[in-house]
A and B are shown apart, each in its own frame.
Chain A
């Protein structure tokens, strides 16, 4: 085992971790804000990728198509939030949590079912960025894009949450929905905004993953599961924790994949989730 391979694996792990972090943040934001565990998040990632690939027929630029793909899931997310989720938000407490799980589970099956029929094949994107070799360590073009773009986007999320009025309002709702209401913040508006942000994050994760491997609609549920595990390990209401957990699990699964094999690597991932739930069950109320 050479150091070069170890470093290459490390970089791959970071890239995978950043995609995980984007997905996990999507879960954390929505669950933290409104106690809805969005089981459908993985399918939004796939939809964004498919929309991007379709748009490439119109525009030859991948960047333009990707923006179009993200815009598409944003609109879709807005529609879902205003219609279905509004019905869920009417309930509160545990009832809302349960209803949220089942409604988004149904939504995932619905979208997945439509995609099975319309777009059953796998999708990839090409980027045309050459791989980079520094001191014998080569980094693929797709890995460069993933690291660059997702770092920027996650940084923007932190800046938004910490510096803008809306971001601060969002954190207020995170802490106390009723309290926020008393401060003159309309939680429902923030919830809508953040839901759209979360599906755009998921969409971005899907598009970025599309540079690396080909994704089929059947992979949607797996993406959701990764997102939930990352979010749990990071502490469901903690964005910073989610990003760290994403990076950590990305490294773990990459190394485990390389050294032990794919199925054990996934079992390790689920094992980590189980252990975290056993150690800190009170965190996800």
Chain B
């Protein structure tokens, strides 16, 4: 496992997280129903989109405010193709993924070539997001308007039967596989020349260029990786929802949440997005107490987080761990146990 990761620290944390997430549904199924199983799916969906935003925004300063649109484009493309051709979704979803990836890399290319600042990219992608939402709602002949289109879903009936698991849990494990792969990918990326180049570009673009880093290329790589990851998650998200509807892919229902998750969990960390997504989903469940006040509480949360807690949970925990030499102690303990 540590050979996959190039960094033993990453490998260890990823192993712990994945082991925990593997047994989590078994516990949830034991104690709760399908509603909680659906929450688990949503948790991984958002964790993955947050990981994508982490790569493209936190590492390369390209604030993509159209993650909802990217997921939507991939999903609608897939669903429309399945509808039109009748071919299985498993053959067609790569087309949707590539559509999202293509748009992502195009935006990164144009933005890098025109030397767009972070705010210009933000407004550009926000405009694209809103245009996409208008399209999803308005182009009824293709997208079915606000009621959306039915989606067969990325289901694996033989697995459901063989393992005796409900469809939500199977979908959860599919998402978990994607998460495991993106852990490996992220760790390898950030602990290689890519990560170094990203750091250099983020700190000073001109200086990075002057030492021979191809800024446009690296930004395109980051944009493509993020968009492909989001594109991959889109159809799995729609499988969880059961239908493809425009409201699932709006700025308010995806991008706002993902931003909160990223900042809360911690930017530029491997586990931050997962921790952030878990916390927001948990908080959201507690917000049921507030009921209709949910939106207002999200607003306050966003303000407080950005003003007072913009380092995030994971870096904070690491800081404390370092202060109390927790890592050393755990390592000693682990060594003793073999």
Contacts and interface: CB of A to CB of B under 8 A. Distances in A.
B137 A263 contact: yes
Interface stretch (B23-31, B116-124, B312-320): B116-124
A88 B302 CA distance: 14
B299 A267 contact: no
B157 interface: no
B57 to A, nearest CB: 10
A85 to B, nearest CB: 11
Interface string B241-266: 00000000001100010010000000
Contact of B139 (A108, A221, A263, A278): A263
Contacts of A197: none
Interface stretch (B40-48, B147-155, B164-172, B288-296): B288-296
A180 interface: no
A84 B300 CA distance: 11
The interface residues of chain A, by DSSP majority, are classed as: helix
A182 B117 CA distance: 28
A109 B300 CA distance: 8
A212 to B, nearest CB: 21
Nearest to A101: B122
B306 interface: yes
B60 to A, nearest CB: 14
A208 interface: no
Interface in A48-101: 84, 87-88, 94, 97-99, 101
Contact of B259 (A102, A110, A221, A285): A102
Q: Is the interface of B mostly helix, strand, loop or mixed?
A: helix
Contacts, number: 126
Interface in A27-47: 37
A179 interface: no
Contacts of A271: 131
B162 to A, nearest CB: 44
Nearest to B252: A221
A132 interface: no
A239 to B, nearest CB: 19
A109 B131 contact: no
Nearest to A117: B292
Contacts of B251: 221
B300 A106 contact: yes
B138 A264 contact: yes
B286 to A, nearest CB: 16
A119 B256 CA distance: 23
A278 B303 contact: no
Interface residues of A, number: 44
B134 interface: yes
Contacts of A106: 298-303, 306
A98 B118 contact: yes
Contacts of B110: 278
Given A229-B127, A274-B124, A263 B134 contact: yes
Nearest to A284: B120
A116 B292 CA distance: 8
A262 interface: yes
Given A113-B294, A274-B124, A266 B134 contact: yes
Given A101-B122, A103-B307, A105-B256, A110 B296 contact: yes
Given A110-B299, A111-B299, A112-B299, A87 B124 contact: no
A101 B298 CA distance: 15
A154 interface: no
23 contacts: A94-B119, A98-B118, A98-B119, A105-B302, A106-B298, A106-B306, A107-B303, A109-B296, A109-B302, A111-B296, A111-B299, A112-B296, A112-B299, A113-B293, A113-B294, A113-B296, A113-B299, A116-B292, A117-B292, A232-B123, A267-B131, A277-B127, A278-B124
The 7 closest A-B pairs by CB, nearest first: A263-B138, A113-B296, A110-B299, A109-B299, A113-B295, A106-B302, A106-B303
